[in-house]
Structures are given as structure tokens and as C-alpha cells.
Amino acid sequence: MSARNKELVNLGFAAIVASAAFASVSIVSTGLVTARWLGYIGVIFGLYLVAHVVARFTVPYADPTLLPLVGLLTAIGLTVIYRLGPADARRQAVWVAVGIGVLAGTLIWLRFDYRVLERYKYLFGISAVALLLLPSVPGLGHRVNGVKLWIKIGPMQFQPGELAKIFLIVFLAGYLRDKREALAQGRLKDLGPLLVIWGAAMLVLVQTSDLGSALLNFGIFLAMVYVATGRALYVGIGLALFLAGSAALYNSLGRVQQRVTVWLHPWTDHRVYCSISGKLDYRQNCDSYQLVKSLYSIANGGYGGTGLGKGTFTTVDGTQLIPYLNTDFVYSAIAQELGLIGAAGMLLVVMVIVARGMRIALIAQDGFSKLLAAGLTFGLALQTFIIVGGVLRVVPLTGITLPFVSYGGSSIVANFVMLGLLLLVSNRAAATAVHT
Amino acid sequence: MNRQITRVAGLALALLVVLIVATTYWQTWARPALAERQDNAIQRVAQFEIKRGLILSPSRVLARNKERRVGGRTFYFRRYPQGRLAAHVVGYSTAARSRTGLERSLNPTLTGSARSLSSLVNQSLDKLNGKPIIGDTVVTTLDVNGQRVALDALGSNCGAVVALDPRTGRVRVMVSSPSYNPNDVETNFGRVEKIKADCKPASPLLNRATQGLYPPGSTFKVVTASAALGSGKYTPDSGFVDPGYCTVYGKRVNNFDTERPFGSLSLATALQFSVNSVFCNIGLALGAKRLVKQAKAFGFYERPPLETPDIERLPSGLYRNGRLFDPKRDRDVDAGRMAFGQERLLVTPEQMAMVAGTIGNDGILMRPYVVEKIVTPNGKTRSRTRPTKIRRAVSPATAQDVGAMMIRAVQAGTGTAAQIPGLEIGGKTGTAETGVDGNNTTWFIAFAGEPGQKPKLAIAVVLQNQSLTGGATAAPIARQVMQALLTPTANP
């Protein structure tokens, strides 16, 4: 069976799983067995079929599992978002459509050779930093939940950090391919760019006070440096510098400080100063309210979960118990309703995508492709780790999205660009393997 | 580069495995502890979709459910038909203020989550079928009429009454005054906060029967007498001379009534009339460690057993700086004062009922229980509480002798106000002075039964802020409750 036919079959399986999930949410919420949910699933998988057809023409040899697995993740996300609020689900569906359009555009644009991107690597690098700093520009930046991550142009809100991450990976893939030999030899002057990037990461951290994306971008950077040079020492130095920088900034970054405190001691037995209300209160009722409520939500799921549509997210009178439930905390909603089985299942889907992505990096022929695929894939894994790990209190909680699952346009679109690039690298690697 | 990519791939997958492990931790290992947390709003709401099991007394409904549909979901709210009568033992289960009492400690039973694997399967099937989970019913041992009599007798006093069957440990009455209406807790908490009584703060939510710590006063003489007879150095006929006071560390410790010293008297007479100097000298002779040892045999220094939450029960014993204090050396404690219930002794009414019960039960301390049985939603008995012996606290002979002295105290001593015609009652009064007039803590502990038979009831009554003695204040209340429980026809 050809790669694309396998993809079609896999998409069919994904559609069946997603249909079952969506049907159960729809039945629980309306109390009626109707076929209205078919419309949703029809539209979503119609879109994926379009993506599939475009892939047939542009990347015929590409990995057949990526598109169906991503389809499954977006379907899980949409189902949960629909369950939490149908209006958001409609908007999210539109964003998935836009994302698939962007995916198709990427595939068509770069169908002959994506390696042209390498030529513009510095442009990508500069754009990445510019995009990261954009929310700090007065008048453009928009503060949401205390973090400057958004820009606002008229009615449109956009989170440029998501796109910056991909630009950064493209830049690093190109730059490190050029310089890897010099870097591997460890000449001191070649460490310059490393320090520049470290400085930029710190600058972004100070500007946006967003530890999450700083950690994500710097982590991707270190992983790619390691892949390029094979020198663990650089990773060590980089990590030490990042930690030192964060520690030095720790005292001036009240927000980061608060997040770390919440992470270490979410519950207090006595009342402590609460900066939100200005009074004394238990920390679980104040700073760590979100984290603690989210942990309760996860714990309430147990092995099998409460069942889709049957979880508890509101009080008896309908007040929302967990803020940012469909973005930062979407995982705690999934873990409550689908339980350990469902949440671990979703993480396994991510793991398969990561494994396939790394395989693409392994079989790719040239350094740029290897670095690009490895960087994109590691980025996906690290981003999942930072947000889900934050929700699970493995690391301090920082608000970034869960790729393909969380509600949010910028994130969906950027992740589809990432998928497009992975498919392109995969196609080229498999095609060379077939033709030689 | 492939070696590095493999390693980075390994790291990436390891990070995701960590997430699965962490999810497993929160959803299995940490789950019960999180569910128990009082600020767990999600559990609190989720549990209202469970049709909680009923809480019953042998003849009445103490807690039932009231269905309310909100936005397509059915919630089961609690109603307490007996209002204030069983508030402290039953407690409440609310969304706004979480849970107390049996509603808290038996939550897993009442919500059906404490079941075996097979019923867990059935429950999962019910869940798939959209049926609500129905919890198990809890049948308590409380006598609602006795509860009413006790609360009415306590009136506006702050205090508590505990009555149990000394042969089994079955608790028949446990009230704390002032009581509150648990139906007000969810929607009308202001009304609970406004409750007033003859003490400040009135603390209506406090279960004084198990959480209230009071100086035992002369009721502790029952423990001292047990230690004295148990030591073999004394008999009920041992003679003493009462000068009206006793000398501890060169200082005088006076009797309750110093004007009329008893002169020569026996140990039995000393208990009958509650003569402090005699017990003071016994305490000095035995030493504090021996008294503590005897007290521990009666259950002091451990939480008195009961099915209510642990935090709602406090251990009795010597307290220092708010902490239980176990003396290592005799000279750490003033044994003379301790022997008649002063020093830093603090006890709960439940503990003192256990002391009286042990004397009435030939020296065997039974484990108190308030849950008779657990019944499944379809009426099958899941488990039934079997009376359990905790330990022998005193020898049968000592129990006989101390019991006889207590009977004399009621027949012609300090406890005559507790007499009930046709019943044999042995009791001990207690008046713990605080130095401020009208501020005494008064006690009466007793066992009661038909003459010539084993006592059927043990009781402890405590009252705060009294100006009279235990014999005048607490004994009449004990009499009313005993009468209600032992001669039900006399008090319908």
C-alpha cells in the first residue's frame, strides 16, 4: 500500500474514534440521540481529506501517520472545547480550517524544495526575535493574565510567540548546519552567537515575563546545538547560563517568583499574604487557586474518568471552577473526563508523533533537514511537557498552549506550519530512499 | 548526527513518559488524599450528583436527600428531618461548608465509593446507563427521644451528655449544647452564627461530647479509687483522718467544704461524700505515674474510639501548653491535686462515660460505637458493628468495690439527685472550680440498671459556667436522660 493510501485508512480510524467521542458529548449535553454532531465531524474530516488530497500531489512519499494523528489530537481538542462551550468550538473549527489552509499553502509553496528556506535563515532569525518582542511594543502589546504575549490589531488578537518558535527553528537549522563543524571544535569565538541567543532569551524573558516560552525556545535551541555539535558540554553551559540568568532575574521578576512559590508550596496550613485580594488567605484560595483546582479536576477523573460530558467544572449554580480551562488547563479537563486511560492515550498519540518526527530526522539526508525535523519534533515534545508538566505540578506552571489541543488560533496555525515542514522533510527523505 | 538525534529522541520521549507517570500519580495514588481536602470544590460538587445514603436512627430518619435539577443535571442536597437533635454526631454535608460528623468520616460509605470490586463493576455499569450512584445507608445507635430529653434538660447551658450501654459500648445519647440546625448550614449560616448560650463563644458547631476538654473535678476520684484498690494497699474500709485539707509541698489544699472536716472516715465514705483530702493523700502515696497508668487503662491518652472524624475527638489526660503531657517522673506532676481531678487534667464527656461504664461492666472497657450497621441501597446488611472489648481496665473485685461506693454516693451521698425509683444507680459528682464564682464546670457520671443485674447504661453529663455543685446541676439532668432511656414508658 502506498504511503498516501495508508494515510487515508489511518484518517478513517481517527474519524471513527473522534466521531464516538463527539457523539457522546453531544448526547450527554442535549440528552437526545441526534445526528447533529455528524456535521462537526463531517466538516473537520472533510478538511483533513482536503489536506490529504493536497498531500497526495505535493508530498506523496511523506510519513502516513502524522496527518491522521494530528487529526486525532485536533478532534480530541475540539470535542473537549465543544463540551466546555460550543461557541468556542465553532471558532476553533474555523481556526482548524485556517490551519489546514496554511498547511496546504506551505505544502504547495515548498513542494519542490523546502531547502530554499535555508537561504533566508538570517531573515527568519531576525523575524523570530522581532516577533517575540512585538508584544512589548507600546500600543501593539496586549497583556493577558499578566503576561505580554499578545498583539492586538483592531479586533484581531495574535500570539506571535507561536510563529516565532518555528522561525527560530528554521534559523537554527540553517545556522547550525553552517557552523556546526567550527562549533564542534569548540573555538571560543564561535561561542559568540550562543551568548547572543542566550542574551536574547533573557531579554525576551524580561520583556514578556513569560518563563514558559523562554524555557521552550531555549530548550529547543540547546537540543539543536547538541544535535549539531554532539557536545553535551554546550548544553551544560547553556543550561547553567539560563539558570544563572533566571536566578539573577528571579528577584526582579515578581511573577516568576510567584509561580515558583506556587509550584513548591501550593497548599498552606496558615493564611499568607494574598496579592490578589490584598488580604491574608490560604494560598490554595489565592495564588495557587488555578493549579490546585486543576489538580482536583485531574484527581477526580481516576482510572476511567467521569465520562465525556460528565465531568465537574462548575459549581452547582454554574460558576466556572477552573479558569482558562480550554487553553492552559485543557489537559485537566481531558484528564477528568477521560481519566488516566484517556489522558495517557492522548500523550501516547503525542509520543508516536514525536517518535515519527525523530525517525524523519534520522532518515533525512542533509544536515539542514535533520536539524529542522529534530528541532520541530523536540519543540512539540518540550511544549507538551512544559504545559502538561505545569498542570501536573512537575514543573512551575507557565501558560502556553497544548499543541493541536488547546483553544487558540495562533497556536493551531503555527502547529500546522510545523506539520507541513515535517511532511516536506519526510517526503524528501523517503523519496530519496525510494529513488536511490 | 544520528547518534545525537537518537539521544534527543530518547529525552523527548522520556519527558512525555514523565507526564504519564505524573498523571498516574495524581489520579491513583494522590487521589484519595485530594478528595478528602476541604477546599476540593470539584469533589464537593461532583459528590452532589451521588444519591447519598441515608443516615438513620433505629426508628427515625436523621439525614435524607432532596433532589434539585440545575441545568440538566440532578443534584442531591441533604435535609436533616430531626434538626438540632442529632446535629453533632450526624454532622452536615454541604457544598458551601464541606462536611462534618458522620457525613464526613463515613463519606466513602455514604457515596458508595468504599465498596468491593464486584459492586464497583455494577457501579460502572450504572454510570454507563446514566443512573445516579446510590450510597449505602448508615444506621446509627442514637435514641432520638433520649437526644431530645438530653438537649431539653441542658437547656441554655453549655455542656454535653453522653450515654452508652456499658456492656457493648453502644452509644445511645450524644448531645452537645448549644446545638444547631444542620439545615441552616448551607443557606442560612448566619442563623447558626447567631446562636447564643450561657458561655462565650457559644461555639454551636463544637461537639462538646468528644471535642470539649474540661477539668474532671471529683469524677476523677473514680480513677484514683480504682488505682488505690488495684494497688492492693487500700481497701474500701481503709481508714483516714480528714482535717479538712491536705498538705502538698507544704501548702494546704482545701476540701470543697473546709468548715466541716469529716474526722475519721473510710475510703468508701470519702468517695460517697467526695472528700478531697483523702484522695489527695492517696494520690501523694501512689504517685502521679500510677494514676496516669490507671487513667490510660480507662482510655485516657488516646482518642476515644468512635466513627466520627478523628479531628472531632480529643484524647483526655494531663495537658501542658495545649499539648497532651505524659509525665516521666512522679515529681513532674502534683499527684495530690491530680487525684481529685485538678492539676492540669482535661477530659472529654465521652471519656468519662467510658470510665463510669467500665466500673459498671465489671472492669471491662468496651469500644464505644455509634454506627449500628451499614445497609446497601437494596436493603441488604453490608456490615454490622460487633461489640469489641478494648481491655480490662480494673479487676472485677476493684470494679465491684468502686461500683458499690458509687452506689452509696447516689443512695446517701453527693449524688442523691440522680435517684430513680426501681433502678440501682452508682454515680460520682464533680465540681471543678476555676476560682471565679459562677464559673465552675460541673459533672455527673453514673451507671444504672435494675437491682441485681448488670448495669444497662453509663452516662456522663458536663455543664460549663455553673455556680452550684455537680450534684445539684448535672445529676438531675443525668436522671432525666437515664429515665428516658431505661423506663421509656414513663416519658413517652
pLDDT in tens, B422-456: 999 999 999 887 767 778 899 999 999 999 899 99
Q: Per residue in A32-66, is it b (16+ CB within 10 Å) or e — as a string?
A: eeeeebeebbeebbebbeebbebbbebbebbbbbb
Residue A262: C-alpha distances to residues A27, A274, A284 (Å): 38, 12, 9
User: What is d(CA B338, CA B291) in angstroms, rounded to the nearest whole number?
Assistant: 8
Q: Which residues pair with B61 in a beta bridge?
A: B56
- Taking the alpha carbons at both ends of chain B, their separation in whole angstroms is 92
- Give domain status of residue A33, yes or no: no
Catalytic residue among B57, B93, B177, B218: B218
Residues of B in contact with A282 (CB under 8 A): 39
Q: Is the dihedral of CA B394, B395, B399, B405 positive or negative?
A: negative
Residue A147 falls within a domain, yes or no?
yes
> A63-93: per-residue pLDDT in tens?
999 999 999 999 999 999 988 888 888 888 8
Instruction: Name the residue range of residue A165's domain.
Output: 116-252
Instruction: Name the DSSP class of B264.
Output: E
Number of domains in chain A: 1
Q: Which domains does chain B have, with CATH numbers?
A: 42-140 (3.90.1310.10), 144-181+196-370+386-490 (3.40.710.10)
- Looking at the domain assignment, is residue A385 inside a domain? no
Beta bridge partners of B66: B77
Is B43 in Cβ contact with A321 (below 8 Å)? Answer: no
Cβ–Cβ of A223/B11 closer than 8 Å?
A: yes
- pLDDT for position A85: 84
**Contacts of A158 by beta carbon, 8 Å cutoff, 6+ apart:** A150, A151, A152, A409, A410
Q: For cell 477552573, name the residue.
A: A322
- Measured CA to CA, the distance from residue B330 to residue B217 in angstroms comes to 20
Flag whether residue A358 sits within 8 Å of chain B, measured between CB atoms.
yes
Q: Specify the higher pLDDT residue, B97 or B410.
A: B410
Give the A window 361-380 contacts with B, CB below 8 Å. Answer: 361-362, 367, 370-371, 374, 377-378
Q: How far apart are CA B412 and CA B149, in angstroms?
A: 26
- Whether the Cβ atoms of residue B74 and residue B165 lie closer than 8 Å to each other: no
Torsion (CA) A11, A16, A20, A23 in degrees, nearest 10: 80
Residue B117 forms contact with A (CB below 8 Å) = no
Cα–Cα dist A174/A375, whole Å: 11
Q: Which tens digit of pLDDT belongs to each residue from B283-303? A: 989 988 899 999 999 999 999
Phi/psi of residue B207, nearest 5 degrees = -85, 90
Query: Which of B3, B16, B24 lies nearest to residue A385, judging by beta carbons?
Result: B16
B43 to chain A, any CB pair closer than 8 A? The answer is yes
Q: Which helix (H) or strand (E) holds B61?
A: strand B61-70
Q: What does pTM read for this prediction? A: 0.73
Q: Whole-angstrom Cα distance, residue B399 to residue B426?
A: 12
Buried/exposed B74-92: b ≥16 CB within 10 Å, e otherwise: ebbbbebebebbbbbbbbb
- Whether A164 is in a domain gets the answer yes
> Does any domain span residue A152?
yes
Q: What average pLDDT does the structure give for chain B?
A: 88
Check if B218 is active-site.
yes
Q: Is the pLDDT of residue B392 over 90?
A: yes
Set of chain B residues whose Cβ sits within 8 Å of the Cβ of A340: 23-24, 27-28
DSSP line for B155-177: TTS-EEEEEEETTTTEEEEEEEE
- DSSP 8-state code for residue B387: P
- In-domain check, residue A132: yes
Residues sharing a CB contact under 8 Å with residue A374, sequence separation 6 or more, in sequence order: A223, A224, A227, A357, A358, A361, B5, B8, B9
d(C-alpha B106, C-alpha B124), whole Å: 21
Which residue among A284, A362, A389 sits closest to B5, beta carbon to beta carbon?
A362
Query: What is the pLDDT at residue B491?
Result: 46
Instruction: Please give the residue that has the higher pLDDT: either A207 or A424.
Output: A424
> Does position B492 have pLDDT exceeding 50, yes or no?
no
> B11 vs A384: CB contact, 8 Å cut-off?
no
Run of H or E including A182: helix A160-185
Q: Kindly calculate the radius of gyration of chain A based on its CA atoms and give it in whole angstroms.
A: 22
Per-residue model confidence (pLDDT) at position A249? 73
Contacts with B6 from chain A: Cβ below 8 Å: 358, 362
The answer as to whether A232 is a domain residue is: yes
Bigger pLDDT: B384 vs A434: B384
B35 touches chain A (CB under 8 A): yes
In a mutational test of the A interface, the residue from B5, B45, B125 whose CB has the highest number of chain A CBs within 10 Å is B5
**Predicted local distance difference test score (pLDDT) of residue A157:** 64
Compute the average pLDDT of residues B253-268.
Answer: 72
CA–CA gap between residue B169 and residue B164 (Å, rounded): 6
Query: HSE-up of A105 (CA within 13 Å, CB side)?
Result: 10
Q: Which residues contact B310 (CB under 8 A, 6 or more apart)?
A: B105, B303
Model pLDDT, residue B71: 66
- What is the nearest CA distance from B122 to chain A, expressed in angstroms? 14
Least confident of A325-334, B9-18, B127-136: B127-136
Nearest to A394 among B22, B31, B43 (CB): B22
Alpha helices in A59-159 (DSSP H): 66-84, 86-109, 121-133
**What is the pLDDT at residue B306?**
95
Give the distance from residue A132's alpha carbon to the nearest chain B alpha carbon, in angstroms. 24
Q: Which of A293, A306, A318 sits opposite B71 (nearest CB)?
A: A318
Cβ pair A354:B12 closer than 8 A: yes
Residues near A329 by beta carbon (within 8 Å), at least 6 away in sequence? A290, A294, A297, A322, A323, A391
Query: Which positions in chain B touch A377 (Cβ < 8 Å)?
Result: 9, 12
Task: For chain B, say whether A55 makes contact (Cβ under 8 Å).
Answer: no
d(CA A380, CA A220): 9
CA B276 – CA A70 distance, rounded (Å): 85
Range of lowest pLDDT (A136-150, A375-389, B70-84, B407-421): A136-150
**Is A189 part of any domain?**
yes
- The size of the A-B interface in CB pairs under 8 A is 154
Query: Do β-strands B137-140 and B55-56 pair in parallel, antiparallel, or remain unpaired?
Result: parallel
Give the residue from chain B lying closest to A181, CA to CA.
Answer: B1
Whether chain B has a CB inside 8 Å of the CB on A296: the answer is yes
- Closest-CA residue of A relative to B75 is A316
Helices (H), B37-100: 41-46, 87-90
Is B15 in contact with A381 (Cβ distance < 8 A)? yes
Strands B159-165 and B389-392: unpaired
The band of A156, judged by pLDDT with boundaries at 50, 70 and 90, is: low
> For B335-363, what is the mean pLDDT?
92
Q: Which of residues 327-356 of A touch B (CB under 8 A)?
A: 335-336, 339-340, 343-344, 347-348, 350-351, 354-355
**What is the rounded end-to-end Cα distance, in angstroms, of chain A?**
20
The CA-based angle B141-B145-B149, given to 5 degrees, is 120
Q: How far apart are CA B113 and CA B134, in angstroms?
A: 10
Buried b (16+ CB within 10 A) or exposed e, B118-145: eeeeebeeeeeeeebbbbbbbbbbbbbb
Mutate to test the interface with A, among B42, B49, B77, B129 (most CBs of A within 10 A): B42
Residues A153 and A36: their CA atoms lie apart, in Å, by: 35
Q: Give B164's strand partners.
A: B171, B458
**Encoded amino acid at A28, one letter:** V
Which 3 state secondary structure label does DSSP give B445? Answer: strand
